[in-house]
A and B are shown apart, each in its own frame.
Chain A
Amino acid sequence: MLQGLGVSPGIGLAPAYKYVKQELIIPEGPGKGREAEKSAFEKALAKIIHDTQRLAENAKKNIGDKEAAIFEAHTMILQDPELSAPILSSINDGDNAAHAISANFDSLVAMFEEMDDAYMRERAADMRDLKERLITDLLGIRFRTLSHLPGKCIIIARDLTPSDTAKIDKANVAGIVNEVGGRTSHTAIMARAMGVPAVISCTGAIETIEEGALIAIDGTKGTVEYNLSDAQIASFREEIEEIDKENTSLERYSKMVSQTKDGKLIEIAANIGTPGEAKHAFEIGADGIGLFRSEFLYMNRDTLPDEDEQFYAYKEAVMAMCGKPVIVRTLDIGGDKKLPALPLPEEDNPFLGYRAIRISLDRPELFKTQLKALLRASVFGKLKIMFPMISSLEELLQAKAVLKTCTDEFDKSGTLYDRGIQIGIMIEIPAAAIQAGTLAKESDFFSIGTNDLIQYTVAVDRGNDKVSALYSQYHPAVLRLIQGTIFAAHEAGIPCGMCGEAAGDPLLIPLLLGMGLDEFSMSAASLLHARKRITELDYTRCKRSVKKILDSSTIQEVKDKLMTL
């Protein structure tokens, strides 16, 4: 078994299809003569320009504007006379077309590699991609393609490029295994957007796994199994069948209203990490985005994203949801995550340290850039802003004051934004849950972040194996904080949602519903399960059982009682 990082959930069982690019062998000498080589080059160039334009259109339709812009820039480079002139002149001097392309592109690659700008150095990879495509077309080499797969298979690659994934034969991909990459790598994002199980950062996959061998991947656990025994195959088949059966039976819920048997309307929303995921959430019928983590914009890069870049990302998500609400959480990072673009000092106790709203309030310029981008995007749909890690009223007021300076500037400059934009907070620190009544008067909505709320309430780091067993969403103290928060929100006349993992827990949903939770936000994979659960429940009955469950003294007692609902 190989262990990687599971980045897109699901089980895949299919033959391995290795997508490995071989070294190109470039011929020497004059080839078929000047005129023939020139026309061969021009034909290949026209073909690749045409293909690239189609990739751009495809990307625009299926992936996003940002990916499309990459291919539009490629097209312009291919059409640049300064690209073709030196190649044609090499051919005139007696070189063959493939060699002329190779030599001239290599000097372009070298030029980009030497630039003192990280962004420009990355363009070297684009030039290599273009060179390879031109030469393979010219020499009539057919690389393995991803656009026509031989049947259901699992793609094993070192790292898929944007041009690879844009062409992928979606109907036949049973899974993707990448040797490199991180959670926010291109492949991970694409796989999630397509709903294909994926394991990345899986070292040795290409060497270990045999071409065509039946393998199984688990996109949640991040495992890749090969040399499967008959028993293993049977068990994976069963698991897939079960998931398939469930998915088919769940599909009808994507078009249903999130309403209990006795008619109470609930919002079932999705948690997303990139704008592309909003499209998928909309397709499966999410009532909104309950949590859009804005951190992806800041990860894997050397420079901070500017206002425009953020604006485009938020706008894309808001537009994808066609008027349904999108709650964007402002930057939520801390000393436990390393961001090259925002170096933070090491801390002994990062979870109790300099993180989230504390950083934003300490660095108003960083915060204002994000808030302005959010405000500008708010005119394209229903965007709401949410502040993470609020522990006191002072912080909330301070954050709102920074927002006010942004809206004042916009009023002066005449920049458009949604004047009714809702501002809410995460309730994830016990202090905030206890003081929810006070905070509710200054908020338009609450969203309970159970992951942090539990860890801070029971003082358990769930990443620590020695104590993680103590971490439980069924802890009576945690449940009381949740109930108190929902109660305080309703007293103040504002809605209360939840965006932690607990919101998608089928066992807990009846209790949360009974407490009056208005919005349940979870990963897209749990969404339809949760909607099914809600439509089968009776709100009035759930409401009646709340007291009985909250009176429990132990975690076990809570669980036992929840089982009966």
Chain B
Amino acid sequence: MVKGKVTITNKSGLHARPASVFVKETLKYKSAINITVNGKEFNAKSILGVLAACVKTGTEIEITCTGEDENEALAGMSTVVESGLGE
């Protein structure tokens, strides 16, 4: 299991469109991927999970990846968040 923290910087936070970009990225990896926001954990491979996390811009989230490609997954997720999730 690997963990990393990233800050959501795109303007609307994890609204439907950026959330779908985020979820699409998770689906590229075999690892289980979760996010922890304000102490609560959500399934990052589910758009409902990501929307439920209600992440606003400027919020720091922790990404946890567990599985055979966990290192690639964590790197990929950090990159997609830093690139602004298509916004």
Residues of A within 8 A of B (CB): 69-70, 72-73, 76-77, 80-83, 108, 111-112, 115-117, 119-120, 123, 306-308
Contacts and interface: CB of A to CB of B under 8 A. Distances in A.
B48 A82 contact: yes
Contact of B48 (A77, A117, A306): A77
Interface in B31-82: 43, 45-49, 51-52, 54, 56
Nearest to A126: B16
Interface of B: 11-13, 15-17, 20, 23, 43, 45-49, 51-52, 54, 56, 87
Nearest to B13: A117
B20 A76 contact: yes
Given A82-B49, A83-B48, A308 B20 contact: no
Given A116-B54, A120-B54, A308-B11, A82 B46 contact: yes
B20 A72 contact: yes
Contact of A81 (B46, B52, B87): B46
Contacts of A307: 11
A287 B46 CA distance: 47
A119 B23 CA distance: 19
A77 B43 CA distance: 13
B12 A119 contact: yes
A82 B51 CA distance: 12
B79 to A, nearest CB: 19
A80 B56 CA distance: 22
B16 A123 contact: yes
A77 B49 CA distance: 10
Contacts of A123: 16, 51
Contacts of A308: 11, 87
A69 B52 contact: no
A120 B20 CA distance: 14
A306 B54 contact: no
A73 B20 CA distance: 7
A82 B43 contact: yes
A308 B17 CA distance: 12
Contacts of A116: 54
B46 A117 contact: no
What 3 pairs across the A-B complex have the smallest Cβ distances? Answer: A82-B46, A73-B16, A306-B11
14 contacts: A73-B47, A77-B47, A77-B48, A80-B47, A82-B49, A115-B54, A116-B54, A117-B54, A117-B56, A119-B12, A120-B51, A123-B16, A123-B51, A308-B11
Contact of B46 (A73, A80, A111): A80
Contacts of B17: 69, 73
Nearest to B87: A308
Nearest to A308: B87
A108 B47 CA distance: 12
Contacts of A82: 43, 46, 48-49
Contacts of B47: 73, 76-77, 80
Given A80-B46, A117-B54, A120-B15, 18 more contacts: A69-B17, A70-B16, A72-B20, A73-B16, A76-B20, A76-B23, A77-B47, A77-B48, A81-B46, A82-B46, A82-B49, A108-B48, A112-B51, A117-B13, A119-B12, A119-B15, A307-B11, A308-B11
Contacts of B16: 69-70, 73, 123
A306 B47 CA distance: 23
A276 B71 CA distance: 45
A72 B24 CA distance: 12
Contacts of B48: 77, 80, 82-83, 108
B44 to A, nearest CB: 11
A69 B12 CA distance: 15
B57 to A, nearest CB: 10
Contacts of A111: 52
A398 to B, nearest CB: 27
A80 to B, nearest CB: 5
A112 B16 CA distance: 12
Contacts of A112: 51
A119 B17 CA distance: 12
B17 to A, nearest CB: 6
Contacts of A108: 48
Contacts of B12: 119, 306
A70 B20 CA distance: 11
B52 to A, nearest CB: 6
A434 to B, nearest CB: 43
Contacts of A80: 46-48
A73 B49 CA distance: 13
A120 B53 CA distance: 10
Contacts of B43: 82
B78 to A, nearest CB: 21
| Best-surrounded residue of A69, A72, A82, A306 (most CB of chain B within 10 A) | A82
A306 B57 CA distance: 12
A421 B51 CA distance: 40
B3 to A, nearest CB: 22
A111 B50 CA distance: 13
Contacts of B15: 119-120
Nearest to A74: B16
A76 B50 CA distance: 12
A72 to B, nearest CB: 7
A438 B69 CA distance: 67
Nearest to A112: B51
Contacts of A76: 20, 23, 47
Contacts of B46: 80-83
Nearest to B52: A111
Most A Cβ at <10 Å: residue of B15, B43, B45, B54: B54
